[in-house]
Structure formats: C-alpha cells, structure tokens
Structure 1
Amino acid sequence: MSLTMQLLILVLLPVAFLLPTGSQAGEIIGGQEVKPHSRPYMAYLEIERKGKTYICGGFLVAENFVLTAAHCNGDKITVKLGAHNIRKQERSQQKISVHHRIPHPQYKETTLNNDIMLLQLADRAKLNRWVDTIALPRASERVKPGDMCSVAGWGDTSTESESSPATLQEADVVVMPDPACPRKPNGPYSNYKSSTMMCVGDPKTRKDSWKGDSGGPLVCRKTAQGIVSWGPPTPPGVYTKVSTFIPWIQATMRRLQP
C-alpha cells in the first residue's frame, strides 16, 4: 500500500484503539452527543478480522438489512441496533449476527471506489421506537453543494488522541462542490471519483467524521445520501454516494429475501 493510501484510508477503529502507523479512519470531530435514540436507524458493528476486533457504523435499511462501507468487511460481523451507550446493556439494544456480507462486486481496496456493503442479518430486527429504518434516495438523486447534512457515529472525537466516546455523537456537515476534493496526482484526493463519491465538510468548521465512524450514514433531509468512507485528517471527507448504488442495493435485497 502506498504512503498516500496509508495516510488516507478510513481504517476501522480497533476496540483496543491500536491503529496501524500512519492510518486514518472514520469518528466525529467537532460534534456533540445525540439525543438518545433520536437516530433509531444507527447500527454499531463489531468486526472480527484476523483475530482482532474493530468497530464501524452502519444503518438499518430494512428489517434484515444494514448498509455500511465495504472496507468494514471482516471474518465475522455482529450488529447492535437500538444503542446509545455502547458500553452499557441498554434494554433498547438488539444484538444480531450477520448471515451474509455482500460488498459491492466492483469495490477496490486500493482506491476505496464503490465502498459500499450490504449486510443480511441472521434475524429480522424488531422495529420499535428505538430501532427503525432510514429512507434511501432515489437512483441518481443529487445533493447540491451547500446542502446541510449530518453524520453520526461512535468513533474518535479527536485527531490527536484515541478518545472513543461511549455514546453516539453527531455533527452537522455541509456538502462541498466536487472541486473541493481536487484529483491532483499524489494529493490527498487523487482517488476521488465524483460519480461514486461525495465531498463533504467545510475545512473552516473542522466538523468531520473520523476513526470508527466508517460505514455510518450521511443524512440529508431524513435520507441516507452518503456513507462515511475515507479522507485526510481535516475536512472535507469523502463519502460513498448512495444514490449511484440504488439499483444494486434493490437487486441484491430482492435476490436474498426469502
């Protein structure tokens, strides 16, 4: 892996908080704790990979499907729904194992293009006031630069220290024009692709996703328009553009539904 990719990839946040040298991942910077259970679609993912445990975010899109980032894949994934404080056993929580992991067939680990994955749950979630689905956009629906959206996760709250909160955090972030993530050779956004990615976060605000937020939703007007994917230590960050993948999501869910 090149030095550029080591610096950029939104790696998962290990539960032991030991990150590979020089790597970065998806937590909320400059945000605040959410009102408990105000985002009932949020999923907390525990990922086992080669004997280590990592965390990612995700979001419930049907009773038995969670959407997340393809780079959150592992040997085994367990999903926790209805959580606010993930260090407590809240009565609202539902813990469900993943039956099938379906990363996008064109996902590229080297460029993080097509960084999207569907998780089919082993059991259907029980929908209630703590656990519910979020709407997906229409195919090719566009979010305009200047639109205000929000991102949430249990990832780190600082780029300087490994400080992972117990409770769900959120931040408001603005959609940037594609040129704000310039594709300069050897630059931090050299792998940016406007057809499958979104450039999000004003560098002046310093509000951003960070380590451990990978796979969580970018929510614009109550719709999951993006997925936390990758980026440098300061905004803008890069999100998977969900609207591009609606035909694949729908076809995959239809194929796997019993």
Structure 2
Amino acid sequence: MQQLLLLLAFILLPGDEAEKIIGGREARPHSYPYMAYLLIQNPEGLTACGGFLVREDFVMTAAHCWGRSISVTVGAHNIQRRERTQQRINVRRAIRHPDYNTQNFTNDIMLLQLSRRIRRNKAVSPVALPRGAGERLRPGTLCTVAGWGRVSLSRGTNVLQEVQLRVQGDQTCRNRFRTFTTQTQICVGNPRKRKTAFKGDSGGPLVCNNVAQGIVSYGASNGTPPAVFTKIKSFLPWIRRTMRHLQCLTLAGAQA
C-alpha cells in the first residue's frame, strides 16, 4: 500500500488541483517555448498535465496523462489568462506506449498528434530530442524542469514555474522505489534539497543542455526528492516509428 501511494504521487486525480514545482521560481515568460499545458477530459471530470512540443504537430507527455479527449495549450505563461501568445489545439490521436504498465508506471510515455500544426514563433517552438541511444546522461548533470500548479503542498500558482535538478545515481531511486527500472527511467533530484517536480507536472520534460532527456513520471506523495522520469532515449525507435505511422494515416485520410 505504501508503494502504491508513492506511485500515485504524480497522478492528478479527478477533483485534485494541478500541483507542480516545489522549491523553484517563476519562469521568465515564454522562456520555455516547447512547454504545453494539457487539459484532459475523462468520465470523472477534468484533470491537467504537462507536455512538450517535439514537432509542429506532436506533443510528448506521460502515458498516465491519457484521457477520453485532450486539448493542448502552447505559448502560455499564465494558464488562467487568454494571452495573445497562446495557441489552443485539440488532439487528433493519443498513442500510449503499447507496454505501458498502469500498476508500476514502466514505459510511461505517450505521443499526442495535434489536429493541426502549431504556428512556430518566439513563444512556441519544439525542443530537441536525444540523437541516439548511445548518449549517456551522467549523475550530477544539471537539468531543468518546468510546470504549472502548486509551489508547495498547500500553495498554488497559475504561472509557469521552473526548477533546476541534478541527475542522481540509479541506486538512489532503487533504494526509494521498488519499481525503478534503470533501462527506461532516470533518477532526478538531490534527496537533501527540497526541490522537485510534483503532481500536475506529470508529462513535462527534463531538459539537459537544451535536449529533452526525460518525462516526469512519479515520485513520493509528500513531494520529497528524488523523482522518477521516463528515459526518452530508450524509446527513440518507438517515437520515430509512431510519428511516421500517424503521419501516414493523416495523409491517407486527407487523400481519401
């Protein structure tokens, strides 16, 4: 039961408020042009997650952010305002990894094909993905996570927050989470510092040296680091194959 509570830490359940960065600060407006805010409709109600642009017509997020229908907002700083920079787009198709496990959150990755391409500008543009599986993310690497929601267990905000976190050795997360898998997950956040991603940050990117290396997946229910991120480079073949397939489906539909 304790392990289940830990795994549920980053899932935004119906009725919960979006929660996010702990120990961070407000980001400079539009300094993360790849960030996406996901509003997810389920039979139980609305939930929210983070995500990030990886192409003009694709957003990447966590598989546990799946819903019956999803709308994506890019170019946002304050999600409660209708800023001129914002573009809101519906999701055409949401594809979870076929081996995603709802019990232990392995393979927690999902691609969202947008119903139309975003308009690229200073406030909206994709982030780079790892170029190959051979790239190694070493412990001690300083990375950035951004998201919307609470800045503590009890205080919220509507503006984008940012925090810098260091990659940890795998053993740090093995000691904390029985479900941690070295092959497909990254351990992030110094256990001695009160800085981490939190509930509504699910699906947001871990960006290291301007490359999206991870996806916020799960962590401790009280918001103490470290947290577990999906390792993007482990899924590069699936990502490329899925985007090609969905693009072909869209072209076939347009020609029919």
- What is the TM-score normalised by the length of structure 1? 0.91
Counterparts of 1:49 and 1:139 in 2: how far apart (Å)? 35
Give me the whole-angstrom Cα distance separating, in 2, the residues matched to 1:205 and 1:254.
41
Tell me if 1:113 matches 2:106. Answer: yes
Helix, strand or coil: the match of 1:171?
A: strand
Instruction: Write the mapping of 1:1-258 to structure 2, written as runs, cut at 5 A.
Output: 2-13=1-12, 16-17=15-16, 27-140=20-133, 141-159=135-153, 161=154, 163-182=155-174, 188-232=176-220, 233-257=223-247, 258=251
- 8 Å contact 2:51–2:60 — kept in the other structure? yes
Change (3 A) 1:26 1:164: closer
How much has 1:4 moved relative to structure 2?
A: 1.8
Q: SS where residue 181 of structure 1 aligns?
A: helix
- Count of aligned positions: 245
* Deviation, structure 1 residue 16: 4.5
Structure 1 residues 135, 68: CA separation in 2 closer, same or farther (over 3 Å shift)?
same
Structure 2 residues not aligned, in runs of 5+: 252-256
Give 2:126's aligned amino acid: T
Aligned-pair CA distance for 1:138: 2.1
Counterpart residue identity of residue 253, structure 1: M
State the Cα deviation string for residues 102-142 of structure 1 (Å, max 9, x = none).
00000000010000000000111111111100000023221
C-alpha displacement of 1:12: 3.5
1: CA distance, partners of 2:129 / 2:87: 22
Structure 1 contact 12–54 (Cα < 8 Å) conserved: no
Over residues 217-238 of structure 1, what are the superposed CA-to-partner deviations in whole Å (9 max), with x where a residue is unaligned? 0000000000000011310000
Superposition CA RMSD, Å: 1.5
Report the Cα distance in structure 2 between the residues aligned to 1:212 and 1:77, rounded to whole angstroms. 15
Asked if the contact 1:139–1:247 (Cα under 8 Å) also holds between the matched residues in 2, the reply is no
The one-letter code sitting in structure 1 at the alignment partner of 2:224 is T
Q: Is the 8 A contact 1:13 1:155 kept in 2?
A: no
Which is richer in helix? 2
Query: Structure 2 counterpart of 1:49, which letter?
Result: N
- Do 2:97 and 2:110's aligned partners in 1 also have CA atoms closer than 8 Å? yes
Q: Given residue 184 of structure 2, which amino acid in structure 1 is its aligned partner? A: T
Whether the 8 Å CA contact 1:99–1:119 is kept in 2: the answer is: yes
User: Is the contact between residue 10 and residue 214 of structure 1 (CA under 8 Å) also seen in structure 2?
Assistant: no
**Offset from partner CA, 1:193-214 (integer Å, 9 cap, x none):** 0000000000112110012000
How many Å apart are 1:10 and its aligned residue? 3.5
Q: Which residues of structure 1 form unaligned runs of 5+?
A: 19-24
Please state whether the residue corresponding to 2:201 is helix, strand or coil: coil
Percent identical across equivalent pairs? 50
Q: 1:85 to 1:26 in 2, by over 3 A?
A: closer
Contact 1:12–1:26 (CA under 8 A) maintained in structure 2 = no
Q: If the length of structure 2 is used for normalisation, what is the TM-score?
A: 0.92
Aligned match of 2:254: none
